[in-house]
Chain A
Amino acid sequence: MSPLYSVIHRDFTLAMRQKADIFQPLTFFVLVITLFPIGVGPAPETLQKIGPGVIWVAAILSALLGMERLFRDDFNDGVLEQMQLSNLSLSWIMFAKVMTHWLLTIVPLILISPLLALFLNLTMPMYWALLATLLLGTPILSLLGSIAVALTVGLQKGGILLSLIIIPVFIPLLIFATSAVDTALFGLNYLPQLAIIAAMLCIAMALTPMAMSYAIKVSHQ
């Protein structure tokens, strides 16, 4: 096993042992979105109008829900200490851990989104736009969120602080993502919004691993 692969393999094995951790964000996501049509009434136009926003807000909240646990066990057990002391760069390890977490908790949400798009009466073009924004946007949620997780991992009850730090950062992403889906409703070109989200993802991928590893080193002080 190569060092980086061992980190990914370990997280997969652990996730398989604690399946509840994977299903909790997924059930939350499905529940929120099924409750909305019942709450606001089943008028197809209303649902179509609020649909993209509802799915995205639900995605952000479910991502937050699973995020707090991302590094907590490894920090408390001292596994992160050993990772920091290994010859492998901590930034790479953090990046691998976050991407594994994204695969395990967020990709199921994306996979189930066709069904939810049906609930909210999204048209086919809207669905494709939604899928594109979710695929490009949710890794940003994971990467940016993990900086806040790494910063608060040493604190007791860091959960509230975590949400307060993360939510404002996600607002630009939410605006561009829902705007892309709305544009798709009218059959217009939504590539500019996607390009902006993709640019945010590139910046996040380049910079967040360093920020995460620095935050972990500070937490170990």
Chain B
Amino acid sequence: MDVLIAQSLTCVKQDRVLFSDLDIILRAGELVHLTGPNGAGKTSLLRILAGLAQPETGLVHTNSADTYDVPLLYLGHKLAQNKHLSAIENLTYWSALHRVNPSVESLYHILAQYQLVGLEDLPTGQLSAGQQRRVSLARTELVQAPLWILDEPYTSLDVTGVSFIQTRVDEYVSRGGCVIMTSHQALSSSHLVRELVLEYQI
């Protein structure tokens, strides 16, 4: 099943063509690793796929089946959490926005899995960069989506954090989810990883 189809995408930034006529089909149960040098347009491509940015030309079509809460989950460079709110509050408000209302106990349970025991009620501004990233990634447990778009999810995570997120991603892909992610390190996944390389164009 196709979860996202993008046709002849072209992106232009500051008079530089980042990519042109790019076709992408993402299927369920697929792990796609988007690679390329800095400035190749990885983030721009992910933002276009997520629907946050409009491509110069081309179309993006997502599968909006009713069985899911949202057609896709996008976790970008910005962590989308307010530093004055605690992890629990940030996640509660975010879930409510997506019409999901997890109980506080389930949120504590999820945060415990993400190694944030005892930090649930602190303002997230007081957490370390890696811990803030974990709070942001904990969103993947809350909302059912057929596609995850993860932009550098491993930034500031420690070694155990990286392997924990990798197993989460693998489980999700086994369940039939699709993941497209960027990362400058090689993915040590148990699944077949499809590499998608963006070249730096002048």
Contact = CB atoms under 8 A, between A and B. Distances in A.
Q: Are both chains from one complex?
A: yes
Chain B: interface size category: 20 to 34
B54 A85 contact: no
A132 interface: no
Given A78-B76, A78-B79, A221-B54, A85 B70 contact: yes
A76 B82 CA distance: 10
Contacts of A85: 50-52, 70, 72, 74
Indicate the member of B78, B96, B97, B98 with the most A CB atoms within 10 Å.
B97
Contact of A1 (B47, B74, B101): B101
B98 A87 contact: yes
Contacts of B93: 1, 6-7, 9-10
Interface in A140-155: none
A2 B95 CA distance: 10
Contacts of B52: 81, 84-85, 220
B129 interface: no
A35 B111 CA distance: 53
Contacts of B70: 85-87
Interface string A52-92: 00000000000000000000011011110111111110000
Nearest to B83: A77
B168 interface: no
Chain A: interface size category: 20 to 34
Interface stretch (A11-19, A101-109, A202-210): A11-19
Nearest to B47: A220
A204 B53 CA distance: 27
Contacts of B82: 10, 14, 73-74, 77, 79
A6 B96 contact: yes
B99 interface: yes
Contacts of A73: 82
Contacts of B84: 14, 17-18
Indicate the member of A13, A76, A86 with the most B CB atoms within 10 Å.
A86
Given A13-B89, A221-B53, A221-B54, A79 B96 contact: no
B97 A3 contact: yes
Nearest to A83: B97
B80 A79 contact: yes
B148 to A, nearest CB: 12
A56 B53 CA distance: 40
Contacts of A82: 74, 80, 94, 97
Given A17-B85, A78-B77, A84-B52, 18 more contacts: A3-B99, A6-B96, A9-B93, A14-B85, A17-B84, A18-B84, A73-B82, A76-B78, A78-B76, A78-B80, A81-B52, A81-B76, A81-B80, A82-B94, A85-B50, A85-B74, A86-B97, A87-B99
Interface of B: 47, 50-54, 69-70, 72, 74, 76-85, 89, 92-94, 96-99, 101
7 contacts: A10-B89, A13-B89, A14-B85, A85-B51, A85-B52, A85-B74, A220-B53
Report the 3 A-B pairs with minimum CB-CB distance, sorted nearest first. Answer: A78-B78, A6-B96, A1-B96
